[in-house]
C-alpha cells in the first residue's frame, strides 16, 4: 500500500472517527454497534482506497459504509429473532447520512455523564470520540488491558440499562454538565503532559487527543468561553513541552526553560482562543488559568509575577482551593520576596496538601532564597519523598544537594 493512502486513512481516522461513531450512535442507539461498524468502515477503507483512490469526501464515504454495515447486521440479527428490538431502533433514522453537527456533542455529554464513574467517563471519551483502542487506553492509564476492557464494558452497559440519554443537556444543567466534559479533557491532557517525554509515546499522545477534542468542542460550542479557555490553557502548556525536559530527560523548571524552544504558532493559537473567550465576557476558572499560562509564555523580558499573583487571587475567588493558595504564594514570593511567600504558605490549612510534593518543594525554594539552608534541605527531602515521577525526584535531589553542600 502506498504511504499516501496510509496517511489519508490515518488522517481520516483522526478527523472522522468520532463523527462516524456519533452518527452511528444516533442511527442505531447502540454504542457497541456504532464502534464496531466504524471499525469495519476504516478496515474497508484500508482495503479499497489503494485500489479505488481516496474518496472526495472521506468522512461521508466512511459514514455510508458504516451505516450499510449497521443495516446488514440488523438484518442478520432479525433472523436471530432475539435482536428484533435493535432493528426497530435502527430503521427510522436510516437515510440521513450526513452528520448532524450536534451528534459528537451529544456523544461527549453521554460519555461524560455524571452517572458514570469519572474514570469510566475518561476511558469512554478516548474510545468512542478519539478512537483509541482499549489496549492503548490501558497503557496510557497504566492498568491491565483486562481491567480497562471491563471498565468500558460496564460503562456501556450502564448507558444502555440506566437509560443515559444521547442528548445535549437542557439549559438548567448545561453549565454543570459542560464542566464535566471539560474536566475529562483536562485530565486527559494532564495525564499526557505529566508523562516524561519519549518514555511512553501512548501516554504523551493523550495531550494531542485532548487538544484535538478541545478544538472539536470549541467548534460545537462556539459560545462557551470555558471551552475556549481550556483549549487556550492546553495550547500554552503544550507550546512549552520541548523546553520542559532537557536532553537527559530531566525536568527543567519554568524559570530555567529556554524560551527559544517555545512553539510560537501554538502560543499564537492559544492567544487567539483566549481572546475569543474573554470577548464573551463570562469569566471562569479555565480562562483565568489560561491567562496565567499566557504570562508564562511571553516571548521576551521578565515574567510579570505581580500580574500572575493577581490572577491567582481572581482564580481563588472563583474556585477556592489550597493548590491555588500555594501557587499564589509562589507568585508573591517572586514578586514581593520569599518572606511574603512563606507567610502565605503558612496560611494554607495544614491538612489540605499533606501529600502534595509541590508544597514542600515551593517552601524549599523560598527557604533557600532566604539562606535558611538546612530547613530548605529538609523541605526538598520531604518533596522528594512525595514526588510521583523520576524526573521530579532527580530535580528535587539536585536541589537538596545544592543547599546541603
- Provide the grid cell at 245: 525536559
b/e map 28-67, b = 16+ CB within 10 Å: bbbbbbbbbbbbbbbebbeeebbeeebbeebbbbbbbbbb
Can you read off the three cell numbers belonging to residue 7? Answer: 496517511
Tell me the three cell numbers of residue 376.
530548605
Name the segment binding another protein (CB under 8 A); options: 142-150, 163-171, 217-225, 261-269.
Answer: 163-171
Stretch that binds another protein, among 4-12, 160-168, 198-206, 245-253 (CB under 8 A): 160-168
Query: Which residue in 402, 343, 346 sits closest to 374, CA to CA?
Result: 402
Closest CB to another protein among residues 173, 374: 173
With contacts defined by CB under 8 A, name the span among 63-71, 141-149, 166-174, 223-231 that binds another protein. Answer: 166-174
Q: Is 281 in the site for another protein (CB under 8 A)?
A: no
Q: Which of residues 73-132 bind another protein (CB under 8 A)?
A: 113, 115
Closer CB to another protein, 28 or 257, in the complex: 28
Q: Any contact of residue 244 with another protein (CB under 8 A)?
A: no
Among 56, 79, 81, 161, interactor with another protein by CB under 8 A? 161
| Cα–Cα distance for residue pair 175/317, rounded to 1 Å | 18
How far is Cα 62 from Cα 42, in angstroms, rounded to an integer?
Answer: 7
Instruction: Quote the CA–CA distance of 399 and 380 in Å, as a whole number.
Output: 7
Residue number, 115 or 219, with CB nearest to another protein: 115
∠ CA 110-113-116, nearest 5°, is 115
**Of positions 34, 123, 164, 230, contacts another protein by CB under 8 A:** 164
Binding mask 169-208 for another protein (x = CB under 8 A): x---x-----------------------------------
Q: Which is nearer to another protein, 92 or 371 (CB)?
A: 92
* Minimum CB distance to another protein, residue 164 (Å): 5
End-to-end Cα, the chain, rounded Å: 61
Q: Which is nearer to another protein, 104 or 177 (CB)?
A: 177
Q: Give all strands (DSSP E) within 226-265, no chain letters.
A: none
Determine which residue in the list 95, 163, 198, 281 makes contact with another protein, applying CB under 8 A: 163
Q: How far apart, in whole angstroms, are the C-alpha atoms of residue 168 and residue 321? A: 30
Give the DSSP H or E segment for 228.
Answer: helix 225-239
Nearest distance from residue 161's CB to another protein, in Å?
5
| Site size for another protein (CB under 8 A) | 10
**Which spans of this chain sit near another protein (rule: CB under 8 A)?**
113, 115, 161-165, 167, 169, 173
Amino acid at each position: 500500500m502506498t504511504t499516501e493512502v496510509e496517511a489519508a486513512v490515518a488522517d481520516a481516522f483522526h478527523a472522522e472517527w468520532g463523527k462516524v461513531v456519533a452518527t452511528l450512535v444516533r442511527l442505531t442507539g447502540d454504542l457497541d454497534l456504532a464502534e464496531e461498524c466504524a471499525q469495519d468502515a476504516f478496515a474497508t477503507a484500508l482495503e479499497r482506497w489503494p485500489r479505488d483512490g481516496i474518496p472526495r469526501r472521506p468522512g461521508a464515504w466512511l459514514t455510508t459504509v458504516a451505516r450499510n454495515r449497521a443495516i446488514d447486521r440488523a438484518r442478520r440479527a432479525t433472523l436471530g429473532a432475539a435482536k428484533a428490538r435493535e432493528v426497530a431502533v435502527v430503521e427510522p433514522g436510516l437515510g440521513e447520512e450526513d452528520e448532524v453537527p450536534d451528534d459528537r456533542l451529544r456523544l461527549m455529554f453521554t460519555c461524560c455523564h455524571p452517572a458514570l464513574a469519572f474514570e469510566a467517563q475518561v476511558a469512554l471519551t478516548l474510545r468512542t470520540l478519539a478512537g483509541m483502542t482499549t489496549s492503548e487506553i490501558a497503557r496510557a492509564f497504566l492498568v491491565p488491558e483486562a481491567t480497562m476492557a471491563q471498565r468500558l464494558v460496564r460503562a456501556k452497559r450502564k448507558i444502555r440499562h440506566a437509560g443515559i440519554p444521547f442528548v445535549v443537556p437542557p439549559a438548567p444543567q448545561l453549565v454543570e454538565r459542560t464542566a464535566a466534559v471539560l474536566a475529562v479533557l483536562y485530565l486527559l491532557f494532564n495525564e499526557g503532559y505529566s508523562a516524561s517525554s519519549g518514555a511512553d509515546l501512548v501516554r504523551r499522545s493523550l495531550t494531542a487527543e485532548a487538544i484535538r477534542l478541545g478544538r472539536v468542542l470549541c467548534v460545537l460550542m462556539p459560545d462557551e468561553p470555558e471551552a475556549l479557555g481550556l483549549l487556550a490553557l492546553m495550547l500554552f502548556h503544550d507550546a512549552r513541552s520541548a523546553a520542559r525536559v532537557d536532553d537527559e530527560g530531566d525536568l527543567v523548571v519554568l524559570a530555567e526553560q529556554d524560551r527559544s524552544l517555545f512553539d510560537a504558532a501554538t502560543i499564537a493559537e492559544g492567544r487567539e482562543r483566549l481572546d475569543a473567550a474573554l470577548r464573551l465576557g463570562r469569566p471562569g476558572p479555565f480562562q483565568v488559568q489560561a491567562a496565567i499560562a499566557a504570562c508564562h509564555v511571553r516571548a521576551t523580558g521578565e515574567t510579570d509575577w505581580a500580574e500572575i499573583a493577581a490572577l491567582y487571587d481572581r482564580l481563588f475567588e472563583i474556585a477556592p482551593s489550597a493548590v491555588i493558595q500555594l501557587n499564589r504564594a509562589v507568585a508573591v514570593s517572586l514578586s514581593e520576596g520569599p518572606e511574603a511567600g512563606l507567610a502565605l504558605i503558612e496560611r494554607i490549612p495544614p491538612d489540605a496538601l499533606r501529600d502534595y510534593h509541590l508544597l514542600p518543594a515551593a517552601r524549599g525554594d523560598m527557604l533557600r532564597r532566604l539562606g535558611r539552608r538546612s530547613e530548605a534541605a529538609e523541605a526538598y527531602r520531604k518533596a522528594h519523598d512525595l514526588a510521583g515521577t523520576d524526573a521530579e525526584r532527580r530535580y528535587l535531589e539536585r536541589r537538596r544537594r545544592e543547599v546541603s553542600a
